[in-house]
Amino acid sequence: MKQTNVIRIVLNKLQKQLRLETFASIVLLFIFISGGWYLYCEHFLFQGQDEEIVQKTLVDKAHDINGAAKKLDINQRLLASVIYAELRLNVNLLDSFERVFASLGSNTSTGLAQIRINTAKWIIDTVSDSNSCYSLEPQFYKWVPRYESRDDIIALLEKDSTNCLLAALHLRQIIKRWKRGGFDIENRPDIIATLYSYGLFNRDDTSEIAPHAKPRRNFFGKVAADFFYSEKTPEFSKIHVVFY
């Protein structure tokens, strides 16, 4: 009888041990799979485009980029630098589905300069709004694209020429707003690119990031500025020419 009890106790302990080991194995397997999936996403799904691909894209789209920059009196290389940083940091395989996300109502970033749909609407609406501190001079109004619906805005963003035009309008707005505030940042591509990527309003209380004396760049701004001052892709001049 005692031997039977001992055997039963031993078997129970073995079962518990096996259950613990099985559970531990499942946990470790889950961690392993999750870690592998994270690394896959980090390096293949969510990582930006390769340097070589980005530079080829910029060269291929140089006509649209330089054309938009000239129309808005923007340094050609500044606009190219912002697009460079967007492609290197923010464009990945998931962007292949941006049209699907947009059609479902998502405020997705779209096109060459990765402009959000709501941002594009805001740009178009404020350029000629005399009550907005982001309005521009009347000579720029003719370059502002028109829309009647959200689908129209998506279509504008999907077209490279108008996507670049909206990006150039936004950069002009940023430069103009800070100059109105008493701070000329036209020769600070890192700060302009930072404001372009982060946005013009604080994310916690939606108040404006007002012009100030000591702006700080983020990583996006650094990447854009590094390209701006580099010898890469000489198709984009640091000299800008405006035509009205």
- For residues 234 and 80, the answer to whether their CB atoms sit within 8 Å is no
Q: Are 174 and 98 in the same domain?
A: yes
Q: Who contacts 73 (Cβ-Cβ below 8 Å, separation ≥6)?
A: 172, 240, 242
Q: Are 163 and 130 in the same domain?
A: yes
Report pLDDT digits (tens) over 38-90. 334 444 444 678 999 999 999 999 999 999 999 999 999 999 999 999 999 99
Tell me whether residue 237 is in a domain: no
Structure tokens at 81: 């630098």
Q: Report how many domains make up the chain.
A: 2
Global pTM value: 0.79
Report the mean per-residue pLDDT for the chain.
85
Tell me whether residue 243 is in a domain: no
Q: Averaged over 149-170, what is the pLDDT?
A: 97
Task: Check residue 65 and give its pLDDT.
Answer: 97
Q: Are 115 and 208 in the same domain?
A: yes
Tell me whether residue 234 is in a domain: no
| Residue span of the structural domain in which 60 resides | 50-228
Q: Are 33 and 54 in the same domain?
A: no
Q: Are 211 and 146 in the same domain?
A: yes
Report pLDDT digits (tens) over 91-109. 876 666 777 888 788 899 9
Q: Are 128 and 209 in the same domain?
A: yes
Residue type for position 75:
N
Tell me whether residue 241 is in a domain: no
Q: Are 20 and 94 in the same domain?
A: no
Tell me whether residue 194 is in a domain: yes
Q: Are 32 and 106 in the same domain?
A: no
CA-based end-to-end distance of the chain: 104
